[in-house]
Amino acid sequence: MNADVFVYMGEGGTQAPRDVVRVRVHASVTSIPAKAFYERTKLAEVELCEGLVEIGNGSFAWCDHSIIKISIPNSLRRIYDHAYAGSLRTTIRLHDGIESIGEYAFAGCIFTNFRIPPLITVIPVGVLQGCKSMFSFEIPDNVAEIRNYAFYNCHCLRNVAIPPNAVLGDYIFIEMTDLLRLFGSEARVIRELQHRFDGLPIHKLVYYQSYYDGVLQNVIAVMNMRSIQSRTLRSKLDPTGNHQDCLGMTPLHILACSSVHDLELYRVIVEKYPANLITEDRWGALPLLYAFWGAAPKEIIHFLVESYESLYPGYVFNWTMMVETMGRCDTPKERIEILLCVREIHFPEQPLDWEYLLNEFAQPSNFHRSDYTFNGAPFRERMQFLFTCGMSDRMEALAFKVWRNYITNLIQTSNFEYYGDNLGVLREIQSKLAHFEVELPKLKEVTTILEIALWKMKMNQKSHQCMYTRSQKKMKTDEFIARQQCRVTCGANVVIGHVLPFLITA
């Protein structure tokens, strides 16, 4: 961390400033008391040093999703109620030594996948309520109870399995748009997820891979099951690796959703079941989408892209759907940016319908919302990023920097409202952009005439000078070169730059 870090010395030390940005908890601190950093809305980075054992009630709560970087020490054992509610804007990795997690501890946070540590056998009330960007949740198979509201309002949750014998509380799967879209009722959601991996050993191994050692060897063993038929011992490929579970997911989908990414496991699955790459789940998503969405490591993204290019070179991705899915689900803009960069580098000719996307994003009914948390600043940042990307080609075509800067500034200063109708903002930006596009041909004509006039004036001046310094023969020899030099040195770039403000109407 930088030198301006605030070092927290514990309950007896100095209270954290209201505008603190970076915090390092001193190694002498074993317990962070309740509300120690409550509503520190500028807090971005937190370093928790080894030796810390517990994080108290609401210690980092309601920081307006400002925390984008946090470390979890191996010494940590207990996280109490509301500890990070409404504060995290990054996926948090809890190590296997965590013994207890309090109610609503991570409610309303912005992350895409979450893994319950294996020592937790009771998932507490509302622990992930309102985590609208979370699409993958890993639960150890020894969990005995899932309490009320555990995943309430987790609209985007898709990759999850329920231990068949776990006792379930009330309202666990209420307001879960993506799962309810498939199954229609909470009762059926529960039934399907309890039996998700019946007869699908590879799917099950991959889902629980973060909890057990030797998963790669076990997957290979299942793939190469042997059977005796007519006294012949023969090897056969386990066919379930190409099957889809109740969510339409293949093993590669589940692996791409995971909090742990083993490149060798990816290689084995793609080698044995290459069709997994182009199999869509029941939401129409490919494994590649979940790798982007869940911020898979670079080497995983690179491997998947190489696999598509080598095995299915003509495959056309639905980039519009991928951006739409991530944009609607509160995905941090950095994840969407990686997706767009991969498309631009590897698949630049494949279509992406920005006009459709901007209209969809501008309508409040197309976002997953809840009353539990207010996603203000992150939402505005994401919308500004998406609008800038969506209009970049048209802005570039304007040619004049002053116009490009005007549109960029208009986007960056627009007041995108999380609960509001942003169609008015979109229409205002589009109207100004269209005005510039109409004016562009006229302005090009004017500037062309101005440049030619300056060029002609410079050539006349040059010709007049040459009458006294050079022979007629030399003038003819250098005429072409002189004309080109005059075009460069006529000062059009300076003059036109000063004249444009009087010609351009904003």
Listed in order, strand segments (DSSP E) in 186-324 are 226-229, 232-235
Residues β-bridged to residue 232: 229
Q: What is the DSSP letter of 260?
A: S
Identity of residue 60: F
Q: How confident is the model at residue 229 (pLDDT cuts 50, 70, 90)?
A: very low
**Do the beta carbons of residue 167 and residue 322 sit within 8 Å?**
no
CA distances from 223 to 137, 197, 205, 219, 271 (A): 26, 16, 12, 6, 11
Count Cβ neighbours within 10 Å for each residue of 470-488 and write b for 16 or more, e otherwise. Answer: eeeeeeeeeeeebeeebee
**CA distance linking residue 94 with residue 377, whole number of Å:** 26
Of 276, 288, 391, which is closest to residue 346 (Cα–Cα)? 288
pLDDT band at 66, cuts 50/70/90? very high
pLDDT of res. 487: 60
Task: Please answer whether residues 281 and 253 qualify as being in contact, where contact means their C-beta atoms are separated by less than 8 angstroms.
Answer: yes
Residues with Cβ < 8 Å from 60, sequence gap 6 or more? 36, 37, 38, 40, 43, 46, 67, 83, 84, 87
**Rounded Cα–Cα distance for residues 98 and 95 (Å):** 6
What pLDDT was estimated at residue 251? 98
Confidence of residue 265 (pLDDT cuts 50, 70, 90): very high
- pLDDT > 70: what percent of the chain? 82
Give the integer Cα–Cα distance in Å for 190 and 168.
Answer: 9
* Residue-wise pLDDT tens digits, 29-38: 999 999 999 9
Q: How far apart are CA 237 and CA 226, in angstroms?
A: 9
**Residue found by looking up tokens 């209420």 in the block:** 174
Where in the chain are all domains bearing CATH 1.25.40.20?
197-315
**DSSP 8-state class, residue 8:** E
Is pLDDT above 90 for 474?
Answer: no
Facing residues of 138 across strands? 115
Residue 144: predicted pLDDT = 97
pLDDT computed for residue 228 by the predictor: 42
The DSSP line for 273-290 is -GGGGG---TTS--HHHH
CB atoms within 10 A of CB 491: 13
How far apart (Å, rounded) are the C-alpha atoms in residues 287 and 255?
8
Closest CA to 134 of 354, 307, 370, 350: 370
Contact 393, 442 (CB under 8 A): no
Alpha carbons within 13 A on the beta-carbon side of 385: 19
Please report the beta strands in 316-394, taking only residues with DSSP state E, as ranges in sequence order.
Answer: none
More confident call, 502 vs 189: 189
Q: What is the mean pLDDT of residues 331-351?
A: 94
Q: Is 46 helix (H, G, I), strand (E, B) or coil?
A: strand
- Residues 283, 240, 287: CA angle, nearest 5 degrees: 35
263-272 and 298-311 helices cross at what angle (nearest 10)?
A: 20
The enclosing H or E element of 472 equals helix 472-477
Q: Tokens at residue 85, please? A: 């509610």
% of the chain exceeding 90 in pLDDT: 66
Around 129, how many Cα atoms within 13 Å sit in the side-chain half-sphere?
A: 25
Instruction: Return the C-alpha torsion angle 20, 25, 26, 30, nearest 10.
Output: 140
Write out the two tokens for 4: 């301006």
pLDDT tens for 275-288 read 999 999 999 999 99
Range 197-315: architecture per CATH = Alpha Horseshoe (1.25)
3-state secondary structure of 394: helix
What average pLDDT does the structure give for the chain? Answer: 87
How buried is 195 (Cβ within 10 angstroms: 0-12 exposed, 13-18 middle, 19+ buried)? Answer: middle
Nearest of 398, 500, 379 to residue 448 by alpha carbon: 500
Q: What was the pLDDT predicted at 491? A: 62
- Whether residue 135 has pLDDT greater than 90: yes
Q: Is residue 358 exposed (0-12), middle (13-18) or buried (19+ Cβ within 10 Å)?
A: buried
Percentages of the chain per state (helix, strand, coil), in multiples of 5 = 45, 10, 45
Instruction: Say if residue 494's pLDDT is above 80.
Output: no
pLDDT tens for residues 429-455?
999 999 888 877 766 666 676 666 766
The two tokens of residue 72 are 């979890």
Cα distance between residue 5 and residue 24, in whole Å: 7
Could you tell me which residue, 438 or 199, shows the higher pLDDT?
Answer: 199
Cα angle value 23/370/113 (rounded, 5°): 55
Location of structure tokens 């869509």: 280
Q: Which two tokens stand for residue 254?
A: 């589940």
Average pLDDT over residues 343-356: 96
pTM (predicted TM-score): 0.85
pLDDT at residue number 401: 81
User: Does residue 274 have a pLDDT over 90?
Assistant: yes
What is the pLDDT averaged over residues 92-120?
95
Residue 353 CA to residue 323 CA, distance in Å, equals 10
- The distance between the two most distant Cα atoms of the chain, rounded to a whole number of Å, is 108
In this structure, the dihedral spanned by the alpha carbons of residues 500, 502, 503 and 505, taken in order and rounded to 10 degrees, is: 110
- Whether residue 506 is predicted with pLDDT greater than 90 in this model: the reply is no
